[in-house]
Chain A
Amino acid sequence: MPRATSKRKAPPSTSASVTSSDVVSTRPGKKGKKEVDKIGSLFDVYANKTLDMIDPEGIVSLCSHLGVDHTDVRILMLAWKMKAEKQGYFSREEWRRGLKDLNADTIAKLKKALPGLEKELMATSKFEDFYAFAFQYCLTEDRQKSVDIETVCELLSLVLGPKYRSQVDVLIKYLKVQSEYRALNADQWRHFYRFCKEISFPDLEDYDSDQAWPVIIDNLVEWMKENKQS
């Protein structure tokens, strides 16, 4: 009976073709794993072996590969994307989180993703989050609640500068001149952004000192008004 022989199983070549098609198909699990591995190995390139974290040295190296200065705001943005906790260090988890979100698994892709990241942050709702993050990121000590004026000024210039250059310049000038505060807390930091966003500049027409603005901003406004007359 010839039918019985035709019931023989298909040759292995068929199953082989099935396997190869697997590689080309878009099943996420297998492909994701490959990508994550790439991210992981990219991490290892910069990481400090003993700590299993990218340390400041590693970051400097990363930056040079990205063609970006390590004090550039885009690194800060990257840290935000990663939700990095400790300034100057990226953990494996954070690295993974950030790069996956940016869809980057090579340096080239990461470099390309940066302008997109910048644009994303300029959208207001995310910017506020980023802005707050920037301050928190500077609280390096345990239980530290305020950041010294010098650092605040640099941070302002870096983070708020691009959006509100003229306000920030005046703000920095004032912070350097005043002697009442030597460090600022998160509440005051947050209000700098509110100030730039809400108050018309440079006339300051709609500023109402009876509202709950922090005293430092009341003082800033007073100082600006005094100096405007001279």
Chain B
Amino acid sequence: MGAKIIQFDQGWSCLQKGITKLKKILEGAPGGHFSSEEYMALYSTIYNMCSQNSPNYSQQLYEKYGESLTEYIRATVLPSIAENHGEFMLREFVNRWANHKVMVRWLSHFFSYLDRWFVSQKSLPRLKEAGLVVFRECVYEKVKSNVVACVIGFIDKEREGGRIDRGLLKNVVDVFVEVGMGQMGGYEVDFEAEMLADSGEHYSRKAVSWILEDSCPDYMVKAEECLRREKERASHYLHSSSEQKLVEKVQHELLVVHAHQLIDKEHSGFRALIRGDKVEDLSRMFRLYHKIPKGLEPVANVFKQQVTDEGKALVQQAEDAASSQQGSNGAGAEVGLVLIREILELHDKYMAYVTGCFMNHSVFHKALKEAFEVFCNKSVAGISSAELLAGFCDNLLKKGTSEKLSDEIIEETLEKVVVLLAYYSDKDLYAEFCRKKLARRLLFDRSCNEDHEKSFLTKLKQQCGGQFASKMQGMVTDMTLAKDIQTNFEQYLGTNPNVKPGIDLSVTVLKTGCWPNYKSSDLNLPQEMVKCVEVFKGFYDSQTKRRKLAWIYSLGTCNIVGKFEPKPIELVVSTYQAALLLLFNDSDRLSFSEILTQLKLTNEDLVRLLSSLSCAKYKILIKEPNTKTVKPDDNFVFNSMFTDKMRKIRIPLPPMVDEKKKVTEDVDKERKYAIDAALVRIMKSRKVLGHQKLVMECVEMVQSIFKPDIKTIKKRIEDLITRDYLERDHEDSNMFKYVA
């Protein structure tokens, strides 16, 4: 309308005055502010120049805006930074940035009309942004390398113990960040990368000298301190995003690069720390390596090695001890007891480290497990590891062991045994041995405590599943039932005095199925015992319907009184031995063959029997001739002059079959069935499967009970092919198909 047209030069000179005043204010001149009138004047000048239709000076003014800034920078800012050094340069840098921001703010206020619509119309950067960019391009880009070098210099100085102006450094860093205007690229590339590289070098140098001079604990203390300091540094004057990177860098140089040298240090490394039980140092090692990805692996490996070595040494010791005691009978067993106890102690010791210093970390649990798996499964003196462990348990649970342990200790030890069992690969073999020994304990009343037996079985069940200990639990229950039957039998005798057999008889009735298989051999019983058997049979038939009793004389005990001339002595013998001795009630002298015919035993059994009564500690019978072993043409005479200081003696009879062999055979048989069942199950669900996969899945299926032999699996596959459960694919011999 009637607005005055402003010519460029006219308008510009007005603005120029304003800008000059602004510069003066920035330089610190007094009277430094704009009154609202001055501000309005500047603003409206620009407004007019930009809104008038022609000539429209928007474009030129936009350019002039930028120019004013660049001019000022060239004339004043850059030189002021350039002529300073070190700390002063940094201060200038910081100050000039602050100033620049103020200048941009004011100028963009003045020129703000441009922002309204010229800027977006021409798709140009807004004034403020454009203004800041100017600093970046004209100042920052030019001085940044000097600034960075300077800052890094200060950081290193501080690392060496010098004092620096942390606030100043923080300010510089802030400038770097702000100049990026939301993008971290500038900070990261221009400053952070350099800083990290320098830090890396710094610590790399330190590490190289420390690793040679310092002991492992000392080195670790230094490393921990360095990390702490760097973290603190980062939080004080670096950008937060740098902290993690810096820590990682330092960790890498100090801990990762020299990991093996540190951990394996001869007299102060991991192994030495374990040997010296240096809990604090070990914990420190854990703390340091814990944060590094995969950092704990080398530590865990050395741990595993340490445990394995110690374990293997124990096994070797046991082996040596056993072979030096070659002649003695129970050598292996005794050595075994010691070994298991030592292994349990070893486990306690190292588990304490795992839960303590190593904070229960899974990688150490795994290392411990793998180490134990290596040596626990070794056999000693020809006795398998499974049998050794079973023997140990037997010793704990039976009466009459030399050491009297308290109930709590027994419970605790049993608990630990069950934990140890997890490392054994032949768990089924262990279970079988346990079962055999349990049977002995129960039947010969050698168990120390029924509660312990029950609690042990419960623990086994918890660890290995319901199936594992079910048979044994059945056996324990059976004993209770058997006692009830015995009580009923005694009542029965009380009410039927006429059937009394004349001898005190107690019978234990076992349910087949959970007890081990016992052969009942055809012993020819003496008359007195025959009557006992008949009487009991009568009782039992009256109590139950259609149950058959199979008498296992090999498990029986008999107390008979030997009427020797010096004094009568009560002999506790097995039923077999009793039957033999009773023959001498009818004749003083008997030959081997006569006894053989009368008792109806096998040759080997009779030899064993007679040896126990004539060639062992107590000579109830005199053998003619008086040689060391029993021969088929020997004769035997009742030793009426036998005597002993005790009134009652037990005459042991060594067991019949090679128990160990039978157990191994039984277990092998069970394993074949288990493998067959697993194979069929897998093939039934998969229908078609390759050989390697089949083997792998089979192993997986049974491994909680035992570690299967690959060859056995292959053989079972072949067997299943022959029995038409599986067939090979016609084209690919490596594929199997399920035959429905």
> A residues bordering B, Cβ < 8 Å?
145, 185, 187-188, 191, 194, 210-212, 214-215, 218
Contacts and interface: CB of A to CB of B under 8 A. Distances in A.
B734 interface: yes
Given A185-B722, A194-B733, 12 more contacts: A191-B733, A210-B691, A210-B692, A211-B691, A211-B733, A212-B714, A212-B717, A212-B728, A212-B733, A212-B734, A212-B735, A218-B711
A187 B718 contact: yes
A180 to B, nearest CB: 10
By Cβ-Cβ distance, the 10 closest A-B pairs, closest first, are A212-B691, A212-B734, A215-B714, A215-B715, A211-B734, A187-B721, A185-B722, A214-B718, A215-B711, A212-B733
B97 interface: no
A214 B714 CA distance: 7
A132 B607 CA distance: 56
Given A187-B728, A210-B692, A215 B718 contact: yes
A187 B728 CA distance: 9
Contacts of B736: 212
Query: What DSSP secondary structure best describes chain B's contact surface?
Result: helix
A210 B734 CA distance: 10
Interface of B: 691-692, 711, 714-715, 717-718, 721-722, 728, 733-736
Nearest to A214: B718
A84 B513 CA distance: 53
Contacts of A191: 733
19 contacts: A145-B722, A185-B718, A185-B722, A187-B718, A187-B721, A187-B722, A187-B728, A188-B718, A194-B733, A211-B692, A211-B733, A212-B691, A212-B714, A212-B717, A212-B734, A212-B735, A214-B714, A214-B718, A215-B718
A220 B718 CA distance: 16
Contacts of A215: 711, 714-715, 718
Nearest to B713: A215
A110 B382 CA distance: 67
Contacts of A194: 733
Contacts of A211: 691-692, 733-734
A198 B714 CA distance: 20
A208 to B, nearest CB: 10
Nearest to A180: B715
B695 to A, nearest CB: 8
B340 to A, nearest CB: 35
B714 A218 contact: yes
B290 to A, nearest CB: 39
Nearest to B727: A187
A187 B736 CA distance: 13
A211 B693 CA distance: 10
A57 to B, nearest CB: 35
Nearest to A219: B711
Nearest to B715: A215
Nearest to B734: A212
A191 to B, nearest CB: 7
A195 to B, nearest CB: 11
Nearest to A198: B733
A160 to B, nearest CB: 17
Contacts of B718: 185, 187-188, 214-215
A211 B715 CA distance: 13
A214 B713 CA distance: 11
Contacts of A185: 718, 722
A209 to B, nearest CB: 9
A212 B716 CA distance: 12
A194 B728 CA distance: 14
B110 to A, nearest CB: 83
B207 to A, nearest CB: 45
Contacts of B735: 212
A187 B711 CA distance: 17
Contacts of B717: 212
A145 B692 CA distance: 26
A215 B715 CA distance: 6
B709 to A, nearest CB: 11
Contacts of B715: 215
A99 to B, nearest CB: 31
Nearest to B692: A210
Nearest to B724: A145
